[in-house]
Structure 1
């Protein structure tokens, strides 16, 4: 209703039309002429050569200009809260992505070429793929191709033993692969929003295998997939029965050594809470803390915040009150919307219009192995951390008393990724100002999962790294990015070197389990909890 905004949008539309018509007149005779608008770096829909030929270049250029105009129309509006503006802009983008010329056979030159080359067999194969996917969806089955991957067969196969189990976790101790190991064991706390074996995928992509082969003793928490009976499990239960119970077991098996704590995503947030409470209570068992794509301040939590406000959390709580937990499909749907171009529309074009199945690989198979969230825990997590930001503001309570991340002084290694839609890297970066620790920060290319599962040898990986002391005073994220050292390849070797610098001289490996201390071998890894549907 703002006249100024309306006039501005009319002017923008006129300028865009003029640019577009001028471009079309040039593109008719010179398909390789300079474009009037470039796609965003992450937008690969129109990257193929067929899109640069007339009239498809004009079609996609017109779409991108329209998309840009709608971005102008749904942002920078006075009198609207930032959250609601972002919601409207997000919905507008989702609707536009549905109407992309790449999604329709008649306006997608790559689909048309494939149809001509195969005599329409691509559409026949696409119809078969669609019917198969529909059948799997109706039956509640996994995506096509996942049957080639099985936990304990070709996923999560690093040798180890379950040495502790309670009502929430199994703790896996991995067998040593070297004659001597660093005395400080590593305890990994994955997020319970995912199955733990993302860090122990196929052998060539396994972080666990990489660590044990480099002389480290590794323990991993495997979370139980909650059911309706677990509806009353809360954040404190996950800290007490998860992190602290696992730490007690590790300390019993390696009693003379402090522990390298590692947390991934939500597991990293919980590890940070536990570490702050431990310092407050005089518990110094942690030697270092490593955080993979983990947030401790949620004021800039990215597009995930679009789904989280007081009204939406209340709505979720009503759903969970009936179900007892947040269903796997509800979780997966949210994350798919955050990357709808890659996970929905591009996949649809590839599978149903091109008739070509995207090859299934270990990370995709893991992604299809979804988990649930207990009602109480999920409500506490959303309200206390996302909505109220209690941890960053020192209001989050453990055992009835608030904890402060500023109490943490052990060295921290924090990893973030450039394309992370779940834990944006500038949000992860806030750990610098929240603790009194020596922070080594890594910014890797890739997303929330692929940027972490980044074994050496992958030529597409690169990262930046800097330690706080190297840069002296506090730097804002953009300045840090401009100054931090660039490296080609995986960040894993950098982390390995950092761990070695904070570890003692290698010693004889500890035994698997310690029956005399109440812990014993309960079965081969990967255990039983990870196999729960």
Structure 2
């Protein structure tokens, strides 16, 4: 076998590689320290379980996965022809690998039996292709996991929900078993470990213990250097005031930065599953600051981080004490009866519920609505439906009944699992095997700053939206009113993101057809967060316009026109065209004539879970 000398990485066969420079004494000493740190990490995990402070959620999840995959195996094994075909497919893949490996050992230049996706960062180290041992591991892994994924795809006789769950669990297992996750099977990890004589493992296990302690017995993976950011100091710094507060939310109003402002104010209803400052990160990324700089009067709801006191608050209470209370205060402060509303993710779902409820009451204070990555039809809601069958919801409800809320870490873990290959395993490897602190990243700091879910609200959301899809069917009942989105006739700007793993673009497209008024469906590049938080100055990504959301998503996309950069200016032009009247900015002092309750970003956003 010939070595490729063109890469900057030194091959393992090179005499100067770490393999020839191992300090056996230091390595042995560090392995002893690693055992000690590993024991501390295990004790941190077991301690809360021994005294009853932590439950057995992992066992529940494993049980569901085993049951689901057992049903998949049963499908294939109960039919002898199907079983033989499945075995033959796997055998064919490994025979091709064996043949190509023998040819390579004989010095022939032969194509591999399996190659990773060029976008797959796990196998970028040159040794994955240059060294036959690692190349064999890589190809065997790819052949096996692709075979398993094909078993799920071809299981046509399975119940669709069961097959969806099986696909999800197979992908989780595939991500977990990747050879890139282990020292002995990852050339980069092996190189680093030998170069540091195992010191990286000691650091990593110490960090593991710290992160289990931080999660009170559960692993709270650090995705960013948390010491770098401080909400209100270098995040959520757009100048403004808290102008109203109740037990459910604080209402923030931001100070104008232009000489004149648009007369019609906007109200932003963010998700309560995360904190509002995703829309007000660093100043150069802040959607809120950008809106203020365009001459908008911006009000934002900052939801309380709930505890047991909010356990009995459902969608009606969140609607009444959230957007409806905010509309009352905006009217008092500005004197305006017309407001443009913006909803993000589940905040958008609540906004849609509010619009349907207001339509039933004849309340016309919201004159236009914008939805960011929002679902109102949950038929095609993506991988989150894996957690929303009757058994799973009952399990979640039992957990919530203990304290009156679902811990924020549970929701954060669920969201991370949707993209485990990007949001879990790279950090497990980097933090706990390489022993490296993650780099500072404002978005991942926000992602880890999780919030709790109140019991009644979250149960209502899971059952009425994910399980029974009642809102789009016109069957959801809130505050004594049966909601009908067809009664919502105001203009709607409906933004989807193309790579969204939480609110899939197809699902948002389908939901856009539920409204009776004119809908501008816009598709942004990237995903659920980066596709929304995309300032024009960065010149990143793109967006597509293709007319009203009629027909199928695929048909719409086929004729849609791509535009480079951010969708923000398109949205602002749409918003301004509806109500272009302006007034002097001096008339939009935060709080009006009333004394504000404090500075933005307020106190609720700073409460940790």
TM-score when normalising by structure 1: 0.92
What are the Cα deviations for residues 36-88 of structure 1, in whole angstroms up to 9, with x where unaligned? 44445764322343322232233212211100111122343354311112222
In 2, Cα distance between the equivalents of 1:124 and 1:384?
48
Please name the residue that 1:500 is paired with: 576
CA 1:178–1:515 in 2, change beyond 3 Å: closer, same or farther? closer
Is structure 2 residue 183 aligned with structure 1 residue 105? Answer: yes
Q: Contact between 1:31 and 1:53, CA under 8 Å: does it hold in 2?
A: no
Q: Which of residues 283, 288, 298 is equivalent to 1:218?
A: 298
The residue matched to 1:225 in structure 2 has which SS? coil
CA 1:28–1:157 in 2, change beyond 3 Å: closer, same or farther? farther
1:497 Cα deviation after fit: 2.2
Please name the residue that 1:445 is paired with: 525
What are the Cα deviations for residues 210-264 of structure 1, in whole angstroms up to 9, with x where unaligned? 1101111100001111111111001100111101111121223333452111001
In 2, Cα distance between the equivalents of 1:321 and 1:366?
27
CA 1:352–1:320 in 2, change beyond 3 Å: closer, same or farther? closer
The residue matched to 1:346 in structure 2 has which SS? helix
Q: Contact between 1:39 and 1:64, CA under 8 Å: does it hold in 2?
A: yes
Q: Which of residues 81, 97, 103 is equivalent to 2:159?
A: 81
The residue matched to 2:394 in structure 1 has which SS? helix
In 2, Cα distance between the equivalents of 1:308 and 1:96?
22
Once structures 1 and 2 are overlaid, which stretch shifts more, 121-130 or 428-437?
121-130
1:267 Cα deviation after fit: 0.3
Residues 128-147 of structure 1: pairs in structure 2 closer than 5 A: 128-138=206-216, 143=222, 145-147=225-227
- Structure 1 spans left out of the alignment, 5+ residues: none
Is structure 2 residue 445 aligned with structure 1 residue 370? Answer: no
In 2, Cα distance between the equivalents of 1:32 and 1:406?
64
Is structure 2 residue 553 aligned with structure 1 residue 477? Answer: yes
The two structures, once aligned, show a CA RMSD in angstroms of: 2.4
1:122 Cα deviation after fit: 4.0
1:116 Cα deviation after fit: 5.0
Is structure 2 residue 336 aligned with structure 1 residue 261? Answer: no
Once structures 1 and 2 are overlaid, which stretch shifts more, 260-269 or 380-389?
380-389
Is structure 2 residue 522 aligned with structure 1 residue 522? Answer: no
Is structure 2 residue 565 aligned with structure 1 residue 489? Answer: yes
Is structure 2 residue 428 aligned with structure 1 residue 348? Answer: yes
1:119 Cα deviation after fit: 5.3
In 2, Cα distance between the equivalents of 1:495 and 1:39?
39
Q: Contact between 2:148 and 2:170, CA under 8 Å: does it hold in 1?
A: yes
CA 1:355–1:32 in 2, change beyond 3 Å: closer, same or farther? farther
Once structures 1 and 2 are overlaid, which stretch shifts more, 136-145 or 227-236?
136-145
The residue matched to 1:276 in structure 2 has which SS? helix
Is structure 2 residue 92 aligned with structure 1 residue 15? Answer: yes
Q: Contact between 2:360 and 2:481, CA under 8 Å: does it hold in 1?
A: no
Please name the residue that 1:271 is paired with: 351
1:92 Cα deviation after fit: 2.6
CA 1:496–1:22 in 2, change beyond 3 Å: closer, same or farther? farther
In 1, Cα distance between the equivalents of 2:153 and 2:451?
35
Larger Rg: 2
In 2, Cα distance between the equivalents of 1:380 and 1:165?
24
Once structures 1 and 2 are overlaid, which stretch shifts more, 159-168 or 328-337?
328-337
TM-score when normalising by structure 2: 0.81
Is structure 2 residue 278 aligned with structure 1 residue 201? Answer: no
1:162 Cα deviation after fit: 0.9
In 2, Cα distance between the equivalents of 1:365 and 1:318?
30
The residue matched to 1:173 in structure 2 has which SS? strand
1:7 Cα deviation after fit: 2.5
Residues 93-242 of structure 1: pairs in structure 2 closer than 5 A: 93-118=171-196, 120-138=198-216, 143=222, 145-242=225-322
CA 1:208–1:448 in 2, change beyond 3 Å: closer, same or farther? same
Aligned length: 527
Residues 218-367 of structure 1: pairs in structure 2 closer than 5 A: 218-256=298-336, 258-367=338-447
The residue matched to 1:430 in structure 2 has which SS? helix
In 2, Cα distance between the equivalents of 1:213 and 1:112?
51
Is structure 2 residue 133 aligned with structure 1 residue 44? Answer: no
1:464 Cα deviation after fit: 2.0
